[in-house]
Amino acid sequence: MKLCIDDANVEKIRRVYDLFPVDGVSTNPSILAKTGRKPYEVLTEIRSIVGEDGELFVQATSLNAEGMVAEARRIVSELGKTTLTKIPCVPEGFKAMKQLKKEGLRFIGTAIYTPMQGFLAAKCGAEYVAPYVNRIDNMGFDGVQVSKDIHDAITRNALDSGLLAASFKNSQQVLELVKYGVKAVTVAPDVIEGLVKNAAIDAAIAQFTKDFGGLVGEGQTMANC
Ligand code: G3P
């Protein structure tokens, strides 16, 4: 399962990339707006962090298929072949996806709240489909279950696609889909750091440090004791 960072803040991306096993970065228009920077400027910087092989996800903002396809061509020409254009799963989006498939441009279906959106995007050839887990939860439905249903629909119909599940607000939502074996999740930096943040871990490490310091002297490690 791939783990991506759902953010465009370069400092946060650098920190999480340095510490965690990360495979790529996803953005959307709202995430880019939060940076207050020119889109291609910040995305080029993110590309330099993820490297040539890392996957970068950038959303098309047009409301019609022709515009979305034009955006995908520009996005790939500016940011490289491992950049996937996020196409909203609406009728004009499906039309755009069919054209992108013909042109061999990589794309992902996004803004997914229902299993049928995910299924149709996968059928159009989307490499990933992105259900919004927490937003679905906030609507009073079960975002993890919707994601599992999409995963199952893709698998049982033998479609060449998989989830890039998105919109997580806590570790439990992420864990449920990790256990289910989805293709990828994209998670905000604070939620990624929260996956392994708890007082028991900190207390255990502090005790080891104290005990070893008592044995060989404070600040000494296995490298220099
Ligand atoms: O990119 C889409 C998704 O990750 C949105 O997340 O936190 O705005 O619900 P959020």
Give pLDDT, residue 118: 98
User: Would you say the CB of residue 173 lies under 6 angstroms from ligand 1?
Assistant: no
pLDDT of residue 25: 98
Contact partners, residue 216, CB within 8 Å, separation at least 6: 225
For a pocket test of ligand 1, which of 167, 169, 174, 185 has the largest count of ligand atoms closer than 8 A to its C-beta? Answer: 167
The whole-number pLDDT of residue 197 equals 94
**Pairwise CA distance, residues 49 & 2, whole Å:** 17
Q: How far apart are CA 31 and CA 199, in angstroms?
A: 31
Residue 41's pLDDT is what?
98
CA of 186 to the centre of ligand 1 (A): 9
Ranges of each domain in the chain: 2-194, 195-225
pLDDT of residue 33: 98
C-alpha dist (Å) from residue 78 to 83, 142, 224: 9, 37, 48
What's residue 203's pLDDT? Answer: 98
Residues whose CB falls within 8 Å of the CB of residue 127, separated by 6 or more in sequence, listed in order: 84, 106, 107, 108, 160, 161, 162
- CA–CA gap between residue 98 and residue 155 (Å, rounded): 20
Tokens of 102: 């013909």
The CA dihedral of 190, 6, 135, 133, to the nearest 10 degrees, is -90
Comparing CA positions, the residue from 126, 120, 135 lying closest to residue 84 is 126
Q: Which atom of ligand 1 is nearest to the CA of 26?
A: 1
Give bridge partners of residue 84 from the DSSP assignment.
57
> Which atom of ligand 1 lies nearest, measured to the CA of 130?
2
CB 142 within 8 A of CB 133: no
Distance of CA 172 to the CA centre of its chain: 16
Report CA(30)–ligand 1 centroid distance (Å).
Answer: 9
Of all protein residues, whose CA lies closest to atom 3 belonging to ligand 1? 167
Adjacency order of strands within the sheet including 24-26:
128-131, 107-112, 83-88, 55-59, 24-26, 2-6, 184-187, 164-165
Residues marked active site are found at: 86
What is the β-pairing status of strands 128-131 and 164-165?
unpaired
Q: What is the pTM of this model?
A: 0.95
Q: 26 forms bridges with which residues in the sheet?
A: 6, 57
Residue (of 223, 132, 140) closest to 185 by Cα position: 132
CATH superfamily of this structure's domain 2-194: Aldolase class I (3.20.20.70)
Q: Which segments of the chain have a pLDDT < 70?
A: none
Distance 225 CA to ligand 1 centre (A): 48
